[in-house]
Structures are given as structure tokens and as C-alpha cells.
């Protein structure tokens, strides 16, 4: 990254998220736009920032609703931000709100904005379901029909199967594989057993439950009120308090049957939610009386072959940001790593410690290093808290900042994989 002018470092001032809900539950009747406006309004309320002080809004989303295709703009207007505030939406699969935040970093560093909001919103309760292409073509052609005969002619050639709805697939367009199949292959490639995956999934749920029960998650949550009863939703509902190694062991393979090692218990659940962060240029924050909590230092994005290394992005992105900052894993106090699957997390950790991977894939003579598990996802992760595609990245960043302050650390590392064989890493330094 190019050098940043004095006073233009992008800083994290505050952030919040709606409690994440398993799809089909708390937010099942909401649009992504509804959650977006609630979290933006919540952030303004929480920080006391006047709406007219915001200069830009960027939000990530993945499964877009055609009616609110620029969901950042619609959410901002509904949240009461002035119509003069530009807003745009970014989509980069599971790292969409990471991209929103780093887009904000660049706007702040280059002086294009002083104060901005970056986050994301996602509903998987109501994905767009459309008619199949033969029917769509005929409906489009119906605009020119003039009589009954014309309409009947449009129906010619349709089969009963053409009338079935077309539901969106969570498969890679380039490979036609679902992500779980790639996760199974990755786990096998790195020798990650079913048992250690189940142990990691249990760890994630236990840590999330502990953080919820002792109040550590409260600092990032903003209650959501959902019509028609408007009873506040105040807690994540993806955490499985009652899970155990016995229950996880009894689950069948979810993707590669009968010998796969990825199960529903070691996979992140379909989730609805929204998150938002307030970012400022450091000099502006200090001049206006805000106490920035962290500096966003350096980031990178990487891409690999989606067939063979779909979920391995963090293993490539992490050494890039560490090298640029002159740091090693030993210098990192807090690590927030997206948990798409337990097998994916463990494969990334194995790649980072592997001499062979370092030599053959990173052009390094030594491994990146060993991750201290006590520093990794100490409050749970996407396996237990949930994974609203477009909102997870901002959750990772705010969790990293909160943990730095609560645990007395200096450096945090945020990293995530994404569909398409992409990956991201960001270094965060505590201030104050």
C-alpha cells in the first residue's frame, strides 16, 4: 500500500451489528434493506454522530434483491442519512464487508472522505427465486402479443419442467461444485480428520456461548426490533449450547457421501444479519472529539484456483500483510479468522505451519508460523455466531478491535476466505 499522509490514517471509531439469526427465524420476514437501515440507525444512535456528518456509506451484500440492488443507498436513506450522502454496494462473496471497509480505508487515506460508514447486510431467508429462462423469454415476448393466438403461440415448446421455479445455488459457477465439496477436498489434502474438525466446531460453540453468557458479545450487539410485535431481538441464535462430541460424531457427511468429513455440525449455517462500522481519518476524529479505538494499517486481497484452493485464501493473504508490516505471527495478539468450515480453518492453519507449502506455494524458505490457538477466535466464530455473507467481515473487524482492548493486545489480524477462490487479510493496531 502507498504511504498515508499525516492525519489520514483510517481509524475504527466504533461498530455494531444486529444479533445474527439462523435463516428462517428472527428476520425471516425482513429484506436485507430492513436490516441495513436498522444497523445504520443503530450505529448513529450508539455513537451520537449527526447523520449529516457522514460523507459516504459502503455496504457489502451477496444475494442481491433486484428491488434494492444498491442496498447501501436504500438502507442509508431509510436510516435517515441525508439524500446528499453517496452510498454504494460492493459484492465479493464472503469478504464483501471486508471490501466495504477497505474501500473506506482508501477513501479516507486519499482525502476523498473524512467520515464514513462501512458494513454489510444479508438475508438468506428470502433469496430471489425466479422463473426458468424459457418462461422468462416468453414473458418478455408477451409485450408484443396482440391477441389470444399470439399468447398461445408463446406457450408452444414449454415443458412442465420449465414451469418449476429456479432457486439460486450456492455452487461455484466456474466449477459447479458447492463449497462443502471443496472443503472436503481441502481437508483431505491437508490430512484434517473428522475428529479434529468436530473438536474445532465444539470449541467454536463453547467459546461463543461463554462470550455471550459473560457479556463480552454485548459490546458489539445492537437490538433489532421486528414487526409486527417489535419485541427486541438481543442475542445471536445460531450458537448451539447443547452440542457435544457425541452429537457431532453422529452427524452424517453433508456433501461427499458416504466418506466425506464435512458435516452440518462443522459447517457455518445460513444466517441473516447486518453490521456497520464508523471509520474516520485519524486527524479528523481527534479534532472532532472522537476517540479512535484502532488504526486500520494494511490489507491485501488474493485469488487462487477455485477448483483446487477455493478456501485457502488466508494462507496466501496472511503472509503478505505480515511481510508488508514487518511482523510475524508471534507479534499478533488477536486473530479473527472466518470459519466457513472447521476443516477450512484447520487446513489454513496447517498450510501456515507447513514447510512444503511455504516452499511450493509461497516461495518462502521457512513456514509462515504456528498460530497460537488461545489467540484465535476467542469469542467463537462463523461456525457458532453465524455467517450472513455480506456482513461477516465487519463483524470480524469489530470483534478484533474489542478483543484488543479487552485483552490488552496491540496487533490484530483479520482474515477470511471467499467463494471464487479469493481471500483477504487486514492488520489492525489498537489505539488508546
Q: Report the C-alpha gap between 369 and 350 in whole angstroms.
A: 9
Residue 170 has a pLDDT of 75
Residue 362 lies in a domain: yes
Q: Is the pLDDT confidence value at 6 over 80? A: no
- Close Cβ partners of 302 (under 8 Å, ≥ 6 residues apart): 313, 316, 317, 320, 422, 423, 424
Q: Say if strands 21-22 and 294-303 run parallel, antiparallel, or are unpaired.
A: unpaired
Residue 135 has a pLDDT of 81
Residue 171 lies in a domain: no
Higher-confidence position of 161 and 279? 279
Q: Say if strands 271-281 and 115-122 run parallel, antiparallel, or are unpaired.
A: antiparallel
pLDDT tens-digit readout, 190-239: 999 999 999 999 999 999 999 999 999 999 999 999 999 999 999 999 99
Residue 214 lies in a domain: no
Is residue 16 part of the annotated active site? The answer reads no
Is residue 94 part of the annotated active site? The answer reads yes
Residue 81 lies in a domain: yes
Residue 2 has a pLDDT of 62
Residue 406 lies in a domain: yes
Could you write out the DSSP letters of every residue in 244-306?
-HHHHHTPPPSSSTTT----GGGBPPBEEEEEEEEEEEHHHHHHTT----EEEEEEEEEE--T
Number of domains in the chain: 1
Residue 376 near residue 337 (C-beta atoms within 8 A): yes
Residue 5 lies in a domain: no
Residue 32 has a pLDDT of 98
Residue 221 has what DSSP assignment?
B
Residue 133 has a pLDDT of 87
Q: What is the CATH number of the domain that holds 118?
A: 3.40.47.10
State CA 152 to chain mean position distance.
47
Domain membership of residue 361 as a residue range: 10-127+268-430
Q: Is the pLDDT confidence value at 1 over 70? A: no
Residue 111 lies in a domain: yes
Higher-confidence position of 146 and 69? 69
Among the listed residues 49, 58, 79, 94, the single catalytic one is 94
Mean pLDDT of the chain: 95
Q: What is the pTM of this model?
A: 0.95
Lowest mean pLDDT among 119-133, 186-200, 212-226, 414-428: 119-133
Quick one: average pLDDT of 106-116? 97
Residue 369 lies in a domain: yes
Residue 91, CA atoms < 13 Å, CB-side half-sphere? 10
State CA 215 to chain mean position distance.
23
Quick one: average pLDDT of 143-149? 81
Quick one: average pLDDT of 370-379? 98
Quick one: average pLDDT of 325-350? 98
Among the listed residues 49, 417, 419, 431, the single catalytic one is 417
| φ and ψ of 274, to 5 deg | -150, 150
Amino acid at each position: 500500500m502507498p504511504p498515508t499522509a499525516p492525519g489520514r490514517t483510517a481509524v475504527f471509531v466504533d461498530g455494531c451489528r444486529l444479533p445474527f439469526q439462523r435463516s428462517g427465524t428472527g428476520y425471516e420476514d425482513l429484506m436485507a434493506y430492513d436490516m441495513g437501515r436498522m444497523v445504520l440507525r443503530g450505529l448513529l444512535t450508539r455513537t451520537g454522530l449527526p447523520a449529516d456528518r457522514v460523507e459516504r456509506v459502503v455496504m457489502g451484500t451477496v444475494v442481491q434483491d433486484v428491488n434494492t440492488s444498491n442496498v447501501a443507498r436504500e438502507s442509508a436513506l431509510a436510516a435517515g442519512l441525508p439524500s446528499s450522502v453517496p452510498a454504494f454496494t460492493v459484492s465479493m462473496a464472503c469478504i464483501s464487508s471486508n471490501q466495504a471497509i477497505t474501500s473506506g480505508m482508501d477513501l479516507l487515506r486519499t482525502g476523498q472522505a473524512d467520515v464514513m460508514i462501512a458494513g454489510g447486510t444479508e438475508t438468506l431467508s428470502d433469496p430471489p427465486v425466479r422463473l426458468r429462462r424459457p418462461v422468462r423469454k416468453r414473458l418478455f415476448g408477451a409485450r408484443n402479443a396482440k391477441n389470444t393466438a399470439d399468447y398461445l403461440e408463446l406457450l408452444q415448446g414449454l415443458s412442465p419442467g420449465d414451469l418449476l421455479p429456479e432457486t439460486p445455488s450456492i455452487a461455484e459457477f466456474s466449477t459447479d461444485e458447492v463449497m462443502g465439496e471443496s472443503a472436503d477436498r481441502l481437508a483431505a489434502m491437508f490430512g484434517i480428520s473428522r475428529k479434529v474438525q468436530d473438536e474445532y466446531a465444539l470449541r467454536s460453540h463453547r467459546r461463543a456461548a461463554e462470550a455471550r453468557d459473560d457479556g463480552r458479545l454485548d459490546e458489539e450487539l445492537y437490538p433489532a426490533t421486528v414487526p409486527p410485535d417489535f419485541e427486541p431481538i438481543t442475542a445471536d441464535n445460531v450458537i448451539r449450547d447443547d452440542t457435544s462430541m457425541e452429537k457431532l460424531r453422529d452427524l452424517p457427511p453433508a456433501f461427499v457421501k458416504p466418506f466425506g468429513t464435512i458435516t452440518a455440525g462443522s459447517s457455518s449455517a445460513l444466517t441473516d444479519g447486518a453490521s456497520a462500522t464508523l471509520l474516520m481519518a485519524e486527524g479528523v476524529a481527534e479534532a472532532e472529539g472522537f476517540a479512535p479505538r484502532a488504526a486500520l494499517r494494511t490489507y491485501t486481497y488474493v485469488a487462487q484456483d477455485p477448483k483446487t484452493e477455493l478456501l485457502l485464501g488466508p494462507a496466501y493473504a496472511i503472509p503478505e500483510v505480515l511481510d508488508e508490516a514487518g511482523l510475524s505471527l508471534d507479534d499478533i495478539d488477536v486473530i479473527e479468522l472466518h470459519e466457513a468450515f472447521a476443516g477450512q480453518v484447520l487446513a489454513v492453519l496447517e498450510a501456515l505451519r507447513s514447510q512444503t507449502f511455504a516452499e511450493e506455494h509461497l516461495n518462502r524458505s521457512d513456514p509462515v508460523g504456528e498460530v497460537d490457538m488461545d489467540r484465535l477466535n476467542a469469542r467463537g466464530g462463523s461456525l457458532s455466531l453465524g455467517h450472513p455473507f455480506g456482513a461477516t467481515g465487519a463483524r470480524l473487524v469489530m470483534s478484533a478491535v474489542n478483543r484488543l482492548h479487552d485483552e490488552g493486545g496491540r496487533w490484530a489480524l483479520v482474515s477470511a476466505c471467499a467463494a471464487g477462490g479469493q481471500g483477504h487479510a487486514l492488520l489492525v493496531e489498537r489505539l488508546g
